[in-house]
Amino acid sequence: MSTTLIGVDATARSEDAVALARQLALTFTGDVVVAAITHDRTAGDATVRRMAGLLAPGIEPDRIRTAVLAAPSAAQGLHELAEAEAADLIVVGSTHTGRLGRVRPGSTGERLLGGAPCAVAVAPHGFRTRLDPQLETIGVAYNGSREADHALRTALELAHANGAHVQAITVIPLELYGTPASAQAEIDATMRAALDDAVAGTAAETVVLDGRPWAALAAQSQLLDLLIVGSRGYGPLRAVITGGTSGPLIHHAHCPVLVVPRGVDTSLRRGAEALLR
């Protein structure tokens, strides 16, 4: 079972977050907690009730809970609530100043991506306006690291539960083309072989791109309904920490981006597995 926490306020970006959370919650079991971080209890209650109402149809009422709490910042409040709820996923919207259809986390999202205790998903600006969005193609950034392996397993489990297609995407870095031809060919072959080994025995499609990794992934995201990336391979365990690729990618992606924490087997997979039983 998994618990999804949606951070909301009274703005349209929270409707984007709710729309994404609803789409993901249809893929796995568990509670959905709609949370507002505010010192105004009356306004917070009204906000969470309205946002919770947007989860229907499809999410059973007994799966939906609401929470209103005060904290020095929205990010701190959501972080503390995620720990108290043992949440597996926090969903937030993009800032309203971003381009329509693009992911661009605001200050709350940025702080959560800097160390949340669970996976974080960011909905693109205007995601709420997409008519009946379907989770048909899930992309996963793959570079051969343990974090990438974890992200790939998460993508495969979610896709299996949802009937979606998975693209495992490797980017041959632009810098590689400044190396001698023999070394370039060896590195290229190694990366392609690692990708093939990772998806062996699965129905995942392999996609090999070249260029700056974040830019190539952002361009590919136009063809995806969800892009999953792993946290960078250093920093605290059990925390989401964006790195050199995932950081800029989150500011340019065309589809929702889900960053999974390192050092923990996210319950999103277990929630998907429970749905399959």
> 3-class secondary structure for 124-161?
CCCHHHCCCCCCCEEEEECCCCHHHHHHHHHHHHHHHH
Return the CATH number at 22: 3.40.50.620
- Residue 185 scores a pLDDT above 70: yes
Residue 38: what pLDDT? 95
Euclidean distance between CA atoms 204 and 224, whole angstroms = 14
Find the mean pLDDT for residues 175-186: 70
Inter-residue contact 75 to 111 (CB < 8 Å): yes
The distance of Cα 164 from the centroid of its chain, to the nearest Å, equals 16
Residues 111 and 147 in one domain: no
Residues 199 and 115 in one domain: no
Tokens encoding 271: 């929630």
Does one domain contain both 153 and 252?
yes
What pairs with residue 263 in β-bridges?
none
120 and 149 fall within a common domain? no
- Within this chain, do residues 46 and 151 fall inside the same structural domain, yes or no? no
CB 144 within 8 A of CB 107: no
Range of the domain at 213: 137-276
13-37 per-position pLDDT tens digit: 999 999 999 999 988 789 999 999 9
Boundary residue ending a domain (107, 129, 151):
129
State whether 204 and 123 are in the same domain: no
Q: What pTM value is reported for the model? A: 0.87
Q: How many domains does the chain have?
A: 2
pLDDT, tens only, 46-84: 999 999 999 988 899 999 999 999 999 999 999 999 999
Distance CA 273, CA 269 (A): 6
Indicate the residue among 77, 110, 129 that finishes a domain: 129
The predicted-structure confidence for 147-174, as pLDDT tens digits, reads as follows 889 899 999 999 998 899 999 999 988 7
Do 118 and 187 reside in the same domain of the chain? Answer: no
Q: How far apart are the first and last CA of the chain?
A: 12
**Separation CA 157–CA 264 (nearest Å):** 15
Contact 260, 150 (CB under 8 A): yes
Same domain, 22 and 61: yes
Please list, in sequence order, all residues whose beta carbon lies within 8 angstroms of the beta carbon of residue 46, skipping any fewer than 6 positions away: none
In this structure, are 41 and 109 located in the same domain? yes
Q: Which pLDDT score, from 0 to 100, does residue 275 have?
A: 46
Spell out the residues 6+ positions from residue 263 whose beta carbon is closer than 8 angstroms to its own: 237, 238, 239
Tell me, yes or no, whether 146 and 110 share the same domain: no
